[in-house]
Structure 1
Amino acid sequence: LPVLRDSPIAISDIARLLGSSRVAAGWMRNHPEFARLLMNPEELAVARTAGDLTADATEAMQSAAGDHDLQMAELRRFVRREQLRVAARDILGLASIIEIPEELTLIADAAVAAAVDGLAPEVPFAVIGLGRYGGLDLSYASDLDVIFVYEGATSDDARAANRTARGLLKEIGAQTAEGRAWEIDARLRPEGENGQLARSLEGYERYYAERGQLWERQSLLKRRFIAGDADLGRRFLRLADEWCYQPEFSEAEVDEIRTMKRRIEAERLGSGSKARDVKLGAGGLSDIEFTVQLMQLQHGFGRTSISDNRTLPALAGLSEHNLLDIGDRATLDVGYRFCQRFRNARYHLSGLSSDVFPDDEHEEHLLARRLGYPSTKDLEADYQEITEAVREVTDRLLYGEAS
Structure 2
Amino acid sequence: SALKKLRKLNIIDKEVFESLTSSYLFLRKVEHSIQLVDERQTHKIPVSSEDISILAKRCGLEGKDEFEELYIEHTSSVSKIYKHLFFEPSRQTEEFGKEFWELADFLTSGNIEESQAVENLRNLGFKNPETAIDIFSKLLDPILGALTQGGKLTAKKVIPAFLGEILKSFNPDGALVNLERFISGIGWRSSIYSILLENPDIIKLLARLFSTSGYLSNFLIRHPEYLDVITLRDVRTEFASKEEMLESLKASMKEAQDYEDKLDAIRKFRHVETLKICLRDLNGEVDPFYVGKYLSMAAEAVLEVGLQLAWDIVRKTKKGKNNKMHMLILGMGKLGGHEMSYNSDLDVIFIYEGNDHEFYSKLGQKVISVLSIPTGEGYAYKIDLDLRPSGRSGALVTSFDSFKEYHKASAQLWERQALVRARPVAGSPQLGNKIMEALTHFVYEESYPQDFYREIHRLRSRMEKELAKETPSKVNIKTGKGGTVDIEFLVQMLQLKYGGEYEELRVQNTAYALDALNGNGMIENKDFKVLKEGLCFLKKMENLLRLLHDRSINELYESDFDKLAADFDKNNAGKKLKKEYISITSGIRKIYDKYFL
Deviation at 1:196, TM superposition (A): 1.6
Task: Select which of 54, 61, 74 maps to 2:253.
Answer: 61
Quote the Cα distance in structure 2 between the aligned partners of 1:47 and 1:64.
22
**Do the aligned partners of residues 125 and 189 (structure 1) sit closer, same or farther apart at CA in structure 2, a change above 3 Å counting?**
same
Deviation at 1:202, TM superposition (A): 1.5
Deviation at 1:359, TM superposition (A): 4.4
CA contact (8 A) 2:343 2:552 kept: yes
Alignment pair present for 1:338 and 2:338: no
> What one-letter code is carried by the residue in structure 1 that aligns with 2:580?
D
> What are the within-5 Å matches in structure 2 for residues 273-352 of structure 1?
275-352=474-551
**Do the aligned partners of residues 193 and 354 (structure 1) sit closer, same or farther apart at CA in structure 2, a change above 3 Å counting?**
closer
What residue ranges of structure 2 are gaps of 5+ in the alignment? 1-185, 316-321
Quote the Cα distance in structure 1 between the aligned partners of 2:235 and 2:223.
20
Alignment pair present for 1:225 and 2:427: no
Q: Work out which structure has the larger RCO, using CA pairs closer than 8 Å and 6 or more positions apart in sequence.
A: 1
In structure 1, the partner of 2:591 is 393
> What one-letter code is carried by the residue in structure 2 that aligns with 1:56?
S
Deviation at 1:371, TM superposition (A): 2.7
What residue ranges of structure 1 are gaps of 5+ in the alignment? none
CA contact (8 A) 1:20 1:91 kept: no
CA contact (8 A) 1:14 1:35 kept: no
Alignment pair present for 1:368 and 2:565: yes
Quote the Cα distance in structure 1 between the aligned partners of 2:515 and 2:202.
41
> What one-letter code is carried by the residue in structure 1 that aligns with 2:253?
M
CA contact (8 A) 2:205 2:283 kept: no
Write the deviation string for residues 363-401 of structure 1: whole angstroms up to 9, x where unpaired: 532311123222112201110110000000111113x2x
SS of the residue corresponding to residue 496 of structure 2 reads helix
Write the deviation string for residues 258-306 of structure 1: whole angstroms up to 9, x where unpaired: 2111121221134988841111110110111111111111111142321
CA contact (8 A) 1:125 1:232 kept: yes
CA contact (8 A) 1:283 1:387 kept: yes
Quote the Cα distance in structure 2 between the aligned partners of 1:142 and 1:171.
17
**Do the aligned partners of residues 274 and 253 (structure 1) sit closer, same or farther apart at CA in structure 2, a change above 3 Å counting?**
farther
In structure 2, the partner of 1:76 is 267
In structure 2, the partner of 1:377 is 575
Normalised by the length of structure 1, the TM-score is 0.91
Quote the Cα distance in structure 2 between the aligned partners of 1:382 and 1:88.
25
SS of the residue corresponding to residue 245 of structure 1 reads helix
In structure 2, the partner of 1:133 is 335
> What are the within-5 Å matches in structure 2 for residues 2-401 of structure 1?
4=192, 5-6=194-195, 8-9=198-199, 11-12=202-203, 14-23=205-214, 24-42=216-234, 44-65=236-257, 67-120=258-311, 122=322, 123-152=325-354, 154=355, 157-246=356-445, 248-270=447-469, 275-360=474-559, 363-374=560-571, 375-398=573-596, 400=597
Quote the Cα distance in structure 1 between the aligned partners of 2:353 and 2:334.
26
Write the deviation string for residues 66-123 of structure 1: whole angstroms up to 9, x where unpaired: x323321221111111111111111122222211111111111111100111122734
Normalised by the length of structure 2, the TM-score is 0.63
Structure number with bigger Rg: 2
Deviation at 1:212, TM superposition (A): 1.6
In structure 1, the partner of 2:148 is none
Deviation at 1:350, TM superposition (A): 2.7
Which has the higher mean CA deviation after the structures are superposed, 124-133 or 194-203?
194-203
SS of the residue corresponding to residue 373 of structure 1 reads coil
Quote the Cα distance in structure 2 between the aligned partners of 1:275 and 1:250.
37
In structure 1, the partner of 2:146 is none
> What one-letter code is carried by the residue in structure 1 that aligns with 2:270?
V
For this pair of structures, how many residues does the alignment match? 393
**Do the aligned partners of residues 332 and 58 (structure 1) sit closer, same or farther apart at CA in structure 2, a change above 3 Å counting?**
same
